[in-house]
Amino acid sequence: MKKLTSLNMLNTIKRLLPALLPSWRFFDFIVASPRIQFSLLKTENETSRQWQEFRPRPTQLSFAAMIKRLLWNPEWNESLFMVSCAERLLDQPTQHSEDEILKRIQHDITKNHSDTSAIHEASHLQFRILLINRKGTELLQEIAFTSRIQLMQDER
Amino acid sequence: MSLYDAIRLTEIMLGIAFAQQSLEHLKSFTNERWLFLPRLILAVLLIIGFQAAWVCFLLLLLGIAILHRFQGPYNGGADRMSLLILSCLTLAHFAPTEKWQELAFGYLALQLMLSYFISGWVKISNIDWRSGRALRDVFQFSAYPVSEHLRALSTSPRLLHAMSWSVMIFELLFPFALLSEISLFIALGIAASFHLANACLFGLNRFFWIWVAAYSSIIWFQQWLQIRGIL
């Protein structure tokens, strides 16, 4: 118990230090970019076949909408946090990052897509991370991570 | 601008930035609301200037709890800048003498200057930034552009090349803005417009509010340097 508390303290200090002594290396290298896709399953043993992009960005966004987002942008900020979780999963996998992504996908689909039949029929959820990178002039995609299959908690 | 005024203005701007962030979290999960509702209340207290020293200290503790909750920053650099400002304000409030207060608040001004200069330095050291390729990659496949329509900008290499160099030159020249009050105000105006553009194009709204919150520290610092004949 004492060891666990010390470990927690150490981790918190490790996370706080980059704020007190920042590196400020914003966008120094443009690395491969993760995309989160999810699949709804009817049983725990079903194999995911239909993957959907999580929160696909709109085709176009008006200038007024961009300015409005200056004051109110919760969904986009949450999506950026999920991108961070995806990067952490690929870098140093933790249960926390996987749980956060699963929890937020489920919350979003039950809140925003509860009228679709696929949601009502589904009992389980899985996500995967696609990594997009450029090689020469071509964009390449690879599946970098596939999550566990999670039983959906009833939020409907 | 006196040290007191600069600290007070930073507190007000930080309070506004925290209130905005906290409101965004209130619609989220219950365990997040437990962290962000107190943060919203403390942000309002900070804006009105009620027990600012203790409010800063409590906000710092809450910031560490939030860092622990998300096992890292929720919003990358914006969260780190928030913690940096809070740490400097808390130290300035509890510093035993004015010299130590100046040191704590001056550290924030120095880090603000470095946030631009180092960003420019790491970019210009990279051939992909010098050629405009890096910014094309940002628009073409990164997770940041807020709409698919914006991705089309990746097909305008000349524009992106010019944009890359404008950003790099501005960031690298930022320390020279300290030479006079007018040049600093112009530089801060350009910097705020840069953050505004990032907020519009990449949805980085929290960066805008939090970086602007630190501006009064560098305005005070420039005058501090000038009064002492350092500039």
Nearest-CA neighbor of B174 among B189, B161, B159? B189
* 8 Å CB contact between B88 and B104: yes
pLDDT at B64: 95
Instruction: Quote the number of domains for chain B.
Output: 1
CB B112 within 8 A of CB B218: yes
Specify the amino acid at residue B2: S
- Summarised one tens digit per residue, pLDDT across range B87-125 is 999 999 999 999 999 999 999 999 999 999 999 999 999
Check CB contact under 8 Å for B122 and A25: yes
Kindly report the three-state secondary structure assignment for every residue of B23-44.
HHHCCCCHHHHHHHHHHHHHHH
Closest CB to A33 among B70, B141, B196: B141
Task: Return d(Cα B108, Cα B111) in angstroms, integer.
Answer: 5
Question: What was the pLDDT predicted at A140?
Answer: 96
Compute the nearest-CA separation of A42 from chain B (Å).
26
Range list of H helices, A1-61: 2-20
pLDDT-above-70 percentage for chain B: 100
Would you state the pLDDT for residue A49? Answer: 80
Which residues in chain B have their CB less than 8 angstroms from residue A18's CB? 80
B145 touching A (Cβ < 8 Å): yes
Segments forming the whole domain that contains residue B82:
3-227
Contacts of A27 in chain B (CB under 8 A): 119, 123, 134, 138
Q: Which residue type occupies A52?
A: Q
The tens digit of pLDDT for each residue in B49-94 reads 999 999 999 999 999 999 999 999 999 999 999 999 999 999 999 9
What per-residue confidence (pLDDT) applies to A94?
92
Q: Hey, how many other C-beta atoms are within 10 angstroms of the C-beta on A99? A: 14
Tell the burial category of A21 from Cβ atoms under 10 Å away from its Cβ (0-12, 13-18, 19+). exposed
Residue indicated by tokens 């194999």:
A47
Q: Name which residue leads in pLDDT, A81 or A122.
A: A81
Name chain B contacts of A77, Cβ cutoff 8 Å. 24, 74-75, 203, 205-206
Q: Is residue A12 very low, low, confident or very high in pLDDT (cuts 50, 70, 90)? A: confident
Beta-carbon separation of A12 and B67 below 8 A: yes
Tell me, what DSSP letter sits at residue A54? S
Which pLDDT tens digit goes with each residue over B165-204? 999 999 999 999 999 999 999 999 999 999 999 999 999 9
Amino acid at site A133: N
DSSP state of B5: H
Token couple for B16: 């506004």
ipTM field: 0.93
